[in-house]
Amino acid sequence: MRVVVQPEPFDAGAEASAFAAGRSDIGAVVTFTGVVRSLEDDPIMAMEIEHYPGMTERAITGIVQTAMDRWDLADALVIHRFGRLEPGAPIMMVATAAAHRAAAFEAADFLMDYLKSRAPFWKKEHRADGGATWVAAKDDDEAALDRW
Amino acid sequence: MRVVVQPEPFDAGAEASAFAAGRSDIGAVVTFTGVVRSLEDDPIMAMEIEHYPGMTERAITGIVQTAMDRWDLADALVIHRFGRLEPGAPIMMVATAAAHRAAAFEAADFLMDYLKSRAPFWKKEHRADGGATWVAAKDDDEAALDRW
Amino acid sequence: MDVVYFAWVRERIGVPRESVETQAATVADLVAELSARDARYAAAFADLTAVRVALDQDLADFDASLAGVREVAFFPPMTGG
Amino acid sequence: MDVVYFAWVRERIGVPRESVETQAATVADLVAELSARDARYAAAFADLTAVRVALDQDLADFDASLAGVREVAFFPPMTGG
């Protein structure tokens, strides 16, 4: 298990290559990468991510441990940035490795649902007109946890 | 959309980095990489993959097109190898990019289910004692298609 | 007791962290005490369905006891990932 | 008509591809004709629930017509991914 919380950009491809590299007991690797999105009809200048130092690492580690207890995972990785991020930049990634495809897919999906609603990050979108809005949690986000 | 069928190894990380790079209309990228698995209690020397040239590209392209029609995907990638592969080597990968996480996850899962049962590849496992066995399709593989 | 705030809760209260002298038995008691102290707190805590609390970095409920707690955190629902 | 075989169907029949002169109207007719011709075909087609067919590179059923078809392929259920 590896959990990284940092302001710096990361190279999702390089991380994916290094993750579980050279292991022949693994049949399936799933990665999810979250990217700062800026739509043409609602462009943002930047995404600011606030977090709760200390609790963040603790919460993510707990979530990953839950996933590793529940699915037969060979390894799991979570990287999550904080600070000011530009459109198109990677926000975070998860990677899961397992003998079988279903475990890798389900665990990655589980990790994303829990990271979204249980890891102490808050997103603020900065717009060109100087306005800034905290991203609101969706009812769906909380409801998604009931899937597991 | 990009569909690649080749005997050569590929670098899943580098492919993931290049996929949908620099696009700020994308919020989510999911990748799946299948790896030749060799378990300690049942080691294999090599995985041989036979395919149906022509139909392979046609079938995969059709499957990816179905996914792009069904989910709001910004892009999709499928790479699948054939020939003789060593344990630990990548067999294939899919990548999906979308504005939203659910679409990227579901489409990747869908692509894997259909590639497994509807793309003309056949796997043969070669063992140290010289024996070789065609991998049998599982009833579950066919049943998985009913999910969609 | 250290009290920390994040995101718009922090912005409404105006400080990220403060030391609070209190005899409050529960989180709800502390919220009531702070809200009575200043309009900034009353504004931040006006709708508690939109506020989450952590005690010593573990998520907790508003009726949780503050006995032995060193750090209380208030923040909106999380939006990571 | 070109007939192609893959995986263990190919191994049982012993060739990957052959040209077949036939008046068979359907895939099932062709299977019956080939199976009567030689034990290798009879062995490959003994359990048709384990065999799939494609006509001009599209999956088809055993009762599909061969009219206008240039290439018939027989193979086991696919195991890609």
Over residues D33-50, the pLDDT tens digits come to 999 999 999 999 999 999
Question: In this complex, do B26 and A37 lie within 8 Å of one another by their Cβ atoms?
Answer: yes
Over residues A63-120, the pLDDT tens digits come to 999 999 999 999 999 999 999 999 999 999 999 999 999 999 999 999 999 999 999 9
More confident position, B96 or A40: B96
Task: Report residues of chain B scoring pLDDT below 70.
Answer: none
Q: Distance (Å) from the C-alpha of residue C12 to the closest C-alpha of chain A?
A: 13
Q: What is the 3-state secondary structure (H, E, C) of A19-62?
A: CCCCCCCCCEEEEEEEECCCECCECCCEEEEEECCCHHHHHHHH
Phi, psi of A83 (to 5 degrees): 100, -160
Residue B94's domain comprises 2-145
Within a domain: residue D80? Answer: no
Among A19, A23, A30, A126, the strongest candidate for a mutation testing the B interface, having the largest count of B CBs within 10 A, is A30
Give the count of domains, chain D.
1
Residues C38, B101: Cα–Cα separation, whole Å: 41
Over residues A7-20, the pLDDT tens digits come to 999 999 999 999 98
Q: Is A123 on the interface with C (CB under 8 A)?
A: yes
Contact status, residue B90 vs residue B20, Cβ threshold 8 Å: no
Within a domain: residue C14? Answer: yes
Give the count of domains, chain B.
1
CATH number of D69's domain: 3.10.20.30
Question: Collapsing DSSP states into helix, strand and coil, what is residue C43?
Answer: helix
Within a domain: residue D20? Answer: yes
Which among B54, B121, B142 is the nearest to D80, CB-wise? B121
Within a domain: residue C80? Answer: no
Tokens describing residue A96: 């899961």
Residues B17, B38: Cα–Cα separation, whole Å: 27
Interface C:A, ≥3 CB–CB pairs < 8 Å: yes
ipTM of the complex: 0.93
**Residues of chain B neighbouring A88 (CB-CB closer than 8 A):** 22-24
CATH number of A129's domain: 3.90.1170.40
Within a domain: residue D37? Answer: yes
Give the burial class of B11: count Cβ atoms within 10 A of its Cβ; 0-12 exposed, 13-18 middle, 19 or more buried.
Answer: middle
pLDDT beyond 90 at A41: no
Residue D49's domain comprises 2-75
Within a domain: residue D81? Answer: no
Q: Is B140 on the interface with D (CB under 8 A)?
A: no
